[in-house]
Amino acid sequence: MSRKVTIIGAGSVGSTITYTMAVNGLASEIVMIDVNTERALGEAMDIRQGTPFCSPIQIYAGTYEDAKDSDVVVITSGMPRKAGQSRIDLAQTNVDVIREIAPEIVKHAPDAIYILVSNPVDVLTYTFCKVSGLPENRIIGSGTILDTARLRSRLAEYLSISQKSIHAYVMGEHGDSSFVPWSTARVGSVEILDDKGGFNFTGRIKAKLNPEEIEQYIRTSGGKIIERKGATFYAIAISVCHIVDCLFGSSNRVMTVSSMLHGEYGIDDVCLSIPFIFGPQGICGNVLPAMTEQELEKLQHSADVLKGVIKQVNI
């Protein structure tokens, strides 16, 4: 009946996730854990003082003991990506953070579903699968859910149409080797790139979509936001809350998140994003669109890049 979430890492991302859950009433209790306890106390206090205008919710800074009975644990601890720094560079430092955190939290919240957000998210999801001892279906990396959101909001601007009517994904690594399988992308039921006049919109600027430009926009937009404001946290927070919403719901959704692959598209023993089915039980399947030869190569390349990193770090 209660919905308890533990957030590890009360930085910009973790705090914004907590705040979002207070605003939209997603959880009934949230524990914030951070090595910087002053920060966790300050963030929890700032959020809690706004709750008279929200649905009832308990929010407090706590310890691993307080994570007891959590339904969901979100891991956002670690170092954010610096301007110019590649996501992969951060790997070892943050793998070590995960290795440190995993036994502590799993001891107190053995039945929770875990969402990994810290970067490099695919590598850390893989790490958590290996070191936590939990079944893989209860471990979800936010993966390219953010990139997919960026793709949809960008296409929505181009097409002057709501993102809800745009069905397109970013797959692979949450990083430079991600890609869009355009052959599967649709607005309503019409292929976005080869619309043969199927899309008729009074007054729309008939600008030809430039797929490369859009992919480039998505890949660089994290970096661009960091340049402009120092960090990215709003879109990722909403995306993570969307995952939590699905876990708390009663049915399964299809979204690109990062999870262990077992032969899908011929790929094995790596975590990356393809359209997975998940819901209250965690990951429970996937929906694999037929892709072009070229798209399959890009996915394979992305898997190779990630395997390369995994080999270089000490898990």
Are the C-beta atoms of residues 231 and 195 closer than 8 Å to each other? Answer: no
Other Cβ atoms closer than 10 A to 14? 27
Residue list 237-276, contact with a second copy (CB under 8 A): 237-239, 241-242, 245-254, 264, 275
Q: Given the complex with a second copy, which of 24 and 86 has the nearer CB atom?
A: 24
- Give the strand pairing for 166-167 and 186-187: antiparallel
Partner in contact with 80, chosen from a second copy, ligand NAD, none, beta carbon below 5 to 8 Å by kind: ligand NAD
Nearest to 6 by CA among 108, 85, 126, 127: 108
Is 9 a known ligand-binding residue? yes
**Element spanning 150, H or E:** helix 145-159
Catalytic residues, which ones?
174
Is 286 a known ligand-binding residue? no
Is 22 a known ligand-binding residue? no
Q: Given the complex with a second copy, which of 76 and 239 has the nearer CB atom?
A: 239
Q: 266 has which bridge partners?
A: none
Q: Given the complex with ligand NAD, which of 30 and 236 has the nearer CB atom?
A: 236
For the chain, the C-alpha Rg in angstroms (whole number) is 19
Is 147 a known ligand-binding residue? yes
Of positions 85, 92, 153, 300, contacts a second copy by CB under 8 A = 153
Nearest to 182 by CA among 295, 275, 302: 295
How many residues of this chain bind ligand NAD (CB under 6 A)?
Answer: 33
Partner in contact with 184, chosen from a second copy, ligand NAD, none, beta carbon below 5 to 8 Å by kind: a second copy
- Give the strand pairing for 139-141 and 113-116: parallel
Are the C-beta atoms of residues 40 and 61 closer than 8 Å to each other? Answer: yes
Residue list 135-154, contact with ligand NAD (CB under 6 A): 142, 146
Binding of residue 36 to ligand NAD (CB under 6 A):
yes
* Residue 260 CB, nearest approach to a second copy (Å): 13
Q: Would you give the binding string for ligand NAD spanning residues 5-24, x where CB under 6 A is met?
A: ---xxxxxxx----------
Torsion sign, CA atoms 276, 277, 282, 285? negative
Binding of residue 121 to ligand NAD (CB under 6 A):
yes
Binding of residue 100 to a second copy (CB under 8 A):
no
